[in-house]
């Protein structure tokens, strides 16, 4: 059951998924990875390709087995009605809670960067209201917004190339001075962020050209890995060992930019990039949370629950974290395991269960590949 009748193209899905993952990772991951891997932090985005490949395989394989269905729907087909509904409700709660965490990250950065005296509640409410309006407008509205805004989101990052004269490549060395263990520890967070691409499960059933879904998802994942590598190398070459001590190293990099004493104080570009990226990210996560609830409870109209869910996201974002350090600790030590559990581990178990039923029982719940199957 689709929560709506809208359709999108594979390219639009890719443009939606890219900011849905990189919007927060671009700003926060260099610090986390540097604290573990030191000057080898640039290797961690490359290793996140492990999660990217696994996530793509799981989402596409499950959709081939159950064309036109999301993870909420085929969970019921695979493990039964009651356990499947429990899984669906768990996804709903997690996605709603995760939307609140993302909103809090957004609000903390905006408050610390430019809106020092603005209450968090105002910042949170405004961005989630915009996201809720987009979700009520449907997936086609979100897709069109992503088509227009994703290029605008990407362009400011190239301004960092103005720092080329200030970069010190020697900060890259020595490579792997402490071996692979710190790098592997540092790669946990990038792998967790990359697993968010499993959200494609909510959009694959809506593709007008499903045969191109896997290709465009792979392109989006590759762009995400390149962006992570770009940000990591740039802040490493600029800040060196100090990268691990910065809350927002990319913001520090923007503040370094000075060209002929004319182009200065360009952090406003990063704030604009952050607002655009997080609007798209919050819209997509709120859409996924809404779809999870609607399909779990088999509601007929998803629009009636969007605004109440947005309010709950505001409450989640304020209740869970009394201050920025508590939020940072959660993102560093807890979030990676939550993300990998819901976006890699559970789908992997579902795929194993579906494959077992197909092999040993010949279950009729596994339909033949239809026209909505992703190639």
pLDDT of residue 262: 72
pLDDT of residue 66: 94
- Tokens 């939606």 sit on residue: 16
Could you tell me the pLDDT band of residue 364, with boundaries at 50, 70 and 90? very low
In this predicted model, which residue has the larger pLDDT, 283 or 116?
283
Q: State yes or no: pLDDT of 325 exceeds 70.
A: yes
Q: State yes or no: pLDDT of 10 exceeds 80.
A: yes
Q: State yes or no: pLDDT of 192 exceeds 80.
A: yes
- Percent over 70 (pLDDT), the chain: 95
Over residues 125-163, the pLDDT tens digits come to: 999 999 999 999 999 999 999 999 999 899 888 888 889
Over residues 286-303, the pLDDT tens digits come to: 999 999 999 999 998 899
- Percent over 90 (pLDDT), the chain: 75
What value does the mean pLDDT of the chain take?
91
Q: State yes or no: pLDDT of 34 exceeds 90.
A: yes
Average pLDDT over every residue of 52-81: 95
Average pLDDT over every residue of 269-283: 92
Q: How far apart are CA 335 and CA 105, in angstroms?
A: 13
Q: State yes or no: pLDDT of 246 exceeds 70.
A: yes
Over residues 333-355, the pLDDT tens digits come to: 999 999 999 999 999 999 999 99
Average pLDDT over every residue of 152-180: 91
Domains annotated on the chain, with CATH: 10-348 (1.20.1740.10)
pLDDT of residue 276: 94
Omega prior to 324 cis, within 30 of 0 = no
Q: How far apart are CA 295 and CA 253, in angstroms?
A: 44
pLDDT of residue 321: 86
pLDDT of residue 305: 96
pLDDT of residue 370: 46
Instruction: Please tell me the pTM assigned to this model.
Output: 0.93
Average pLDDT over every residue of 274-295: 96
Q: State yes or no: pLDDT of 113 exceeds 90.
A: no
- Which pair of tokens denotes residue 116? 């020092």
Could you tell me the pLDDT band of residue 374, with boundaries at 50, 70 and 90? low
Q: State yes or no: pLDDT of 362 exceeds 70.
A: no
pLDDT of residue 102: 96
């Amino acid at each position: 059951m689709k929560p709506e009748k809208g359709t999108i193209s594979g390219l639009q899905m890719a443009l939606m998924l890219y900011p849905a993952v990189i919007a927060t990772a671009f700003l926060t991951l260099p610090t986390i990875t540097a604290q573990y891997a030191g000057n080898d932090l640039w290797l961690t985005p490359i290793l996140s390709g492990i999660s990217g490949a696994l996530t793509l395989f799981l989402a596409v394989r499950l959709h081939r087995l159950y064309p036109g269905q999301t993870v909420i729907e085929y969970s019921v087909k695979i493990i039964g009605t009651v356990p499947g509904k429990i899984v669906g409700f768990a996804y709903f709660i997690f996605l709603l809670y995760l939307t609140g965490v993302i909103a809090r990250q957004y609000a903390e950065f905006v408050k610390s960067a430019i809106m020092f005296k603005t209450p968090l509640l105002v910042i949170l409410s405004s961005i989630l209201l915009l996201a809720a309006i987009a979700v009520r407008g449907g997936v086609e509205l979100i897709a069109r917004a992503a088509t227009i805004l994703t290029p605008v989101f990407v362009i400011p990052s190239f301004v960092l190339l103005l720092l080329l004269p200030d970069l010190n490549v020697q900060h890259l060395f020595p490579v792997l001075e402490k071996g692979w263990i710190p790098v592997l520890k540092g790669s946990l967070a990038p792998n967790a962020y990359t697993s968010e691409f499993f959200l494609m499960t909510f959009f694959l059933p809506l593709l007008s050209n499903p045969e191109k879904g896997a290709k465009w998802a792979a392109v989006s994942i590759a762009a995400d890995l390149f962006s992570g590598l770009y940000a990591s190398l740039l802040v490493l070459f600029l800040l060196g060992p100090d990268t691990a001590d910065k809350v927002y190293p990319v913001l520090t990099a923007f503040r370094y930019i000075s060209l002929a004493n004319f182009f200065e104080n360009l952090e406003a570009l990063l704030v604009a990039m952050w607002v655009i990226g997080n609007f798209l990210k919050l819209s997509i996560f709120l859409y996924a949370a809404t779809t999870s609830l609607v399909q779990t409870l088999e509601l007929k109209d998803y629009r009636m629950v969007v605004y109440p869910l947005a309010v709950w996201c505001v409450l989640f974002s304020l209740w869970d974290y009394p201050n920025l350090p508590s939020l940072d600790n959660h993102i560093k030590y807890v979030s990676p395991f939550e993300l990998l559990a819901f976006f890699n581990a559970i789908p992997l178990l579902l795929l194993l269960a579906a494959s077992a039923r197909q092999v040993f029982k010949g279950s009729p719940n596994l339909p033949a590949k239809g026209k909505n199957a992703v190639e």
